[in-house]
Structure 1
Amino acid sequence: MEGSIAPPNGIIGTATLPAGLRGDYAHALEDGTLPAEAIRRTEADHATWRTLVARQRALFPGRAADAWLKGLDRLRCDYAVPDLDQASDILEDAAGWRLVPCPGLLPDGQFFDLLARRRFPVTSWIRRPDELDYVVEPDIFHDFLGHVPLLTDPAYARFLEAYGRLGQKAAARGLLTPLARFYWFMVEFGLIEQADDGSGSAAPGLRAYGAGIMSSRAELLHAVDGDPARLRFDAFRVMRSEYRIDDLQPAYFVIRDYAELFEAIATAPALLDVANAATPIPPGGSHPQDEPWRT
């Protein structure tokens, strides 16, 4: 899965993190974040960032969702590893969010608590030059370039806060499996309908916004230009859908707009128990009630 993330226990953190993670967990504060003084950047870090951004930028026309691309442009982050305080000022003005540095993967409690407070955790370190195409743990390129641009969109930002609040409740009830699936498909690998702009996209009217797609060359080309299964978004279907972390996605879900995600989270509490008890749908599997997305 080129450039995307494959944490050992899924996309959401775990109650106890596995040993051997790469980040500077020794300096993490009680809420999982890092003090600003613990972060140092080198010119090599900035060079790696510029290379990664330039490679992805070349692929965005005709493939990146408008709101995501406008957010990226607004952040002005092409030429150096972003300063999180400066980016936070932009996000706070746009939608009331701020960024906080962290060592990497966070336990569930810390992760959900930060989202519920409109604080998005961003991994502090960046991959090495020999890891441009693949990194196992999420780094700042994935976290910032993939996730942060859409935090300038009020509708999406409102959804992610609501997701954090639901996560707090789901964790207490032992219902994180269906919620982890929702995060995987709709936050990391989501697609959105968009009016065709005549750009010549391989899939007119379809654009990508998920962080795992936007930070990966292979996933972006596969999701938009390739021929995977693309299904109309249905929250219950998503919560039953298993996923793989070691390959390109065989199926994606397509939303109409970001408000649809917020509406789904508002109704999700009633679905969690049922989805958790339902027979899972294997990766790339089909269901009789599936509604294919068509342009």
Structure 2
Amino acid sequence: MRDDTDFTRAVAASGKTASRLRGDYRQVADDYSIDQGWEHYSTADHALWRALYDRQAALLADYAAPEFTAGLARLDARDAIPDFRRTSDLLDRATGWRLLAVPGMIPEREFFDHLANRRFPVTNWLRQPAEMDYLVEPDVFHDFFGHVPLLTHPVFADYMQAYGQQGALAIAAGALEPLARLYWYMVEFGLINTSHGLRAYGAGMLSSHGETRYCLDSPQPHRVGFNLERVMRTRYRIDDYQQTYFVLDSYDQLFDATAGDLTALFAKVQALPVLDPAQTQPDDRLFAPVRRQ
């Protein structure tokens, strides 16, 4: 066990959050895992989970990628905060992934190692009722509802492992920021072009009531066809809705673009200017907002 309060202070100092992390890091293992403590969730916690779940689930038919909706249905997690042990057994049978309880954000090296070994870190605490609409740090609802459904999809599950394997290369190349942009835009806030039009699959918007609608309906943000270099060069926002979203043609496109050794691309991106997410580029492939009746 380790008392890693120094890590929580370091994250606050990095600008990733405005304060020290709220999770309990006093008893984390060397890999930053903890016991989920499922038996300690209260009746009120489970009721809040259901309220969050039902509110987001009501949007999925019109806004979510079908693979996300199908994955969420397989998890059967509406009635209570899920027990990670049960979900891990289901995921293991589906795609070889397991869930790992963590107190919140964890260091990059451990995060990448978990993904590379098909272990997905999920925060164990739940937000307060006053935080229904906005949360500074990811909680169990964001991590589970937003991320875990697509871990049932074979191609996306393989992509997440491949992303984790890039972590050691990015650390060696001093290129954590470009790799973080890839996660932010294509895991947290990704869109995909389907036979029914644009749909959201990213965990950041599908666990956010407001951004679920905004990312597809609003005329304000840019929706840009996926280009790996463009994604890695584009600055992102942590304090507001995104100004740019990137659109996949398929999950295979994402996996194929990021397979192999990206060291050369890291070096290229590091030598180029960072792009403003409020601005489009001349060769961008742009998508219009969805027009709903």
What is the TM-score with the length of structure 1 in the denominator? Answer: 0.89
- Residues 149-164 of structure 1: matches in 2 within 5 Å? 149-164=149-164
Output the CA distance in 2 between the equivalents of 1:171 and 1:45: 38
Quick one: distance in 2 between partners of 1:225 and 1:242?
A: 22
Aligned to 1:165: 165
How far 1:269 moved relative to its partner? 3.2
The answer (yes or no) to whether the contact 1:27–1:38 under 8 Å persists in 2 is: no
Amino acid at match of 1:72: L
Aligned to 1:54: 54
Show CA shifts across 1:176-222 (max 9, x none). Answer: 111111111000000001112xxxxxxxx110000001000111100
What are the Cα deviations for residues 228-253 of structure 1, in whole angstroms up to 9, with x where unaligned?
A: 21110000000000011111111111
**CA RMSD, 1 decimal:** 1.8
Task: Determine the C-alpha separation between the residues in 1 that align with 2:25 and 2:168.
Answer: 22
**Deviation (angstroms), 1:39:** 6.6
Runs of 5+ unmatched residues, structure 2: 1-10
CA distance in 2, matches of 1:92, 1:10: 35
The residue type paired with residue 272 of structure 1 is: F
Aligned sequence identity (%): 48
The CA distance in 2 between the partners of 1:179 and 1:277, in whole Å, is: 15
Partners of 1:269 and 1:72 in 2: CA distance: 35
Quick one: higher RCO (CA 8 Å, sep 6+), 1 or 2? Answer: 1
Q: For residue 194 of structure 1, what is the amino acid of its counterpart?
A: T
Deviations 1:85-108 (A, max 9, x none): 111111111111000000000001
Does residue 65 of structure 2 align to residue 40 of structure 1?
Answer: no
**CA deviation vs aligned residue, 1:2-42 (integer Å, no higher than 9, x gap):** xxxxx85477xxxxx99721111011100011034587211
Kindly provide the CA deviation profile for residues 249-294 of structure 1, in whole angstroms up to 9, marking residues without a partner as x: 1111100111111111125333111111210101222222212135
Give the structure 1 partner of residue 65 of structure 2. 65
Alignment size in residue pairs? 276
- CA offsets, 1:102-158, max 9 Å, x none? 000000111001001100000000001111111111100000000000000010000
Q: Do residues 279 (structure 1) and 273 (structure 2) align?
A: yes
**Residue pairs, 1:189-204, within 5 angstroms:** 189-196=189-196
Once the two structures are TM-superposed, the CA of residue 61 in structure 1 deviates from its matched residue by 1.2
Distance 2:136 2:19 in 1: 14
Question: What is the aligned partner in structure 2 of residue 21 from structure 1?
Answer: 21
CA distance in 2 between counterparts of 1:166 and 1:57 reads 33
Q: Structure 1 residues 264 and 10 mapped into 2: Cα distance closer, same or farther (>3 Å)?
A: farther
- Segments of structure 1 that go 5 or more residues without pairing to the other structure are 1-6, 12-16, 197-204
